[in-house]
Amino acid sequence: MDNMDFRLLRALLALITERSVTRAANLLAVGQPALSQTLGKLRKHFNDPLLVRTRGGMVPTDRARELEQSARAILAEYDRMISPADGFDPATSRRRFVVSIPEYAEHMLMPPLLERLRRESPDIRIEVRPPQPARAIEQLEAGDLDLRIAWLLAPTPTLRSMPLFQDQVVCLASRAHPTIQGSLTVDDFLGCPHVRPLGTGRPTTAVVLDEALSRERRKIDRPFLVENFLTIPAIVARTDMLATLPRMLARPFATQYELQLLEVPLRLPRIRYAAYWHERSQKDPGSRWLRTMLQQAARTLS
């Protein structure tokens, strides 16, 4: 490539992925002014603006989208060429791993994982990103994600996977609830307002609950939606609202906020979280190490 080096290609991919000079600069660990200059060089080299401003933020041009695929392929091949076959040492490595994970699973897995990582691998970094279900396979294929942790009702057969932990959906209600004490019927369950975490996309818990109610030809009417699941127990404790959450999350909430922990009066599948990765990462020593660490973190939950 005339007048082009791999650092410029990495900058191009970061800008296209993050759609923000500030976020891309943070990702690349460079200053924002320096990356703005790099963007200027890229625009001049490719004779295209590459990123344009809209009311919703910066978006890639069609030319940038074309370049993205070629840049990913070139960098992936280059990284394979320079990577030592068995050179990963977790005690000294400074590698960064990127994982997408829903808020609940992050709350359960990250504390035991990072506790051990800080003891044994202090220079390794884990970057947790919110799920983007529509782009997950593309991100794994491109190497933007090392792992996707999710509860998938229909896992993608082209991805490798391993189970991590299981849980059960339960219901929370205030101990001072005006009509519910100790147990729930379906009519009780539907007779009260519900509060749910908004999450990214539609959480699988909400999907299985709505499907179970649909089989009964019933539905939850206009649930309240909040951004952070950690606000839910405080809301439930002070209102007549109900919430459906995983048991491992709900149990400490019930003690902390004086809540009732109740069985959901519906047939629901167990929560089954797993880690998913692309075949390209199957034999990578660092990726294998990360998967082992996650398995060990998941065992502490039981």
Which of the given ranges, 72-76, 139-143, 219-223, 297-301, has the highest pLDDT on average?
297-301
Question: Does the pLDDT at position 83 exceed 70?
Answer: no
Structure tokens at 122: 């202090």
101-119 per-position pLDDT tens digit = 998 999 999 999 999 999 9
- DSSP structural state of residue 231: G
The pLDDT, as a whole number, for residue 4 is: 59
The CATH number of 6-82 is 1.10.10.10
Distance of CA 231 to the CA centre of its chain: 19
Domain 169-269 falls under CATH 3.40.50.300: no
Tell me if 282 sits within 8 A of 160, measured CB to CB.
yes
The segment(s) of the chain belonging to CATH 1.10.10.10 are: 6-82
Sorting pLDDT into bands at 50, 70 and 90, what band is 126?
A: very high
Rounded mean pLDDT of 81-92? Answer: 73
Beta bridge partners of 173: 260
Fold for 96-166+273-299, please state it.
D-Maltodextrin-Binding Protein; domain 2 (3.40.190)
- Give the angle 68-71-73 at the CA atoms, nearest 5°: 110
Average pLDDT over residues 231-256: 95
Please state whether the predicted TM-score (pTM) of the whole model is above 0.85.
no
Q: Determine the pLDDT at residue 146.
A: 94
Can you tell me which residue has the tokens 């992050």?
106
Answer yes or no: is pLDDT of 1 > 50.
no
Q: Give the residue range(s) of CATH 3.40.190.10 domains in the chain.
A: 96-166+273-299, 169-269
